[in-house]
Amino acid sequence: MNLKRYLPALIGFAVLACWRSAWSIEEDIYGEDALPAYIEPEKKPERPLVLPPYPDSDKLIQVDLKLRDFPFTFWIDPASLDVDEEGVIRYTAVLRSASGAENVVYEGIRCTRRQYRRYAYGAQGRFHLVGKSQWQFLRPVSQDRYRATLIDEYFCPLPSGDTRAQILRKLKTRYPDFH
């Protein structure tokens, strides 16, 4: 095969490919107006964190999670329950093991994204802020099972009207409305 014969054609294709690629980067060959522009919705900052008072064990609502092999009894502090205008539900949860050890956490849940965020944990009668508190997606198998149950059976979808009162009613009846 005679390469000299094909060399000008190969060089021409290479130059054309480079020129075409550079041209397509500089200009939008399809036209920017051909597709509707996506405008990122303006993100509202989350409401500043104000920790609630430490939960009073006499006023906790025991929540029946109906989870097999869940080693904790679960309570929510009704005084801490809050729903903001962005739909973030904040609450203090108390998880008690059979031996009496307690985990106290103040956290938030976003129904629309199935996310949670731990703001603080409780120890010795007071809250301690979590260092790098970030929103996290629920994991299907883990300690997130209680959060998934809260989302699926008690918190979400957010009811209209007095959201806080309706969520408290669901928690207190121990028979959540199933959807």
- Greater model confidence, 176 or 73: 73
The string over 133-167, giving b where at least 16 C-beta atoms fall within 10 Å of a residue's C-beta and e elsewhere, is: eeeeeeeeeeebbbbbbbbebbbbeebeeebeebb
Q: How far is CA 33 from CA 23, 26, 39, 71, 111, in A?
A: 18, 16, 14, 57, 35
Q: How large is the average pLDDT for residues 29-50?
A: 58
Q: From the options 1.10.10, 2.40.128, 2.40.10, 2.20.25, give the CATH code of 57-173.
A: 2.40.128
Confidence of residue 144 (pLDDT cuts 50, 70, 90): confident
Comparing 14-23, 63-72, 84-93, 167-176, which segment has the lowest mean pLDDT? 14-23
Q: How large is the average pLDDT for residues 58-81?
A: 90
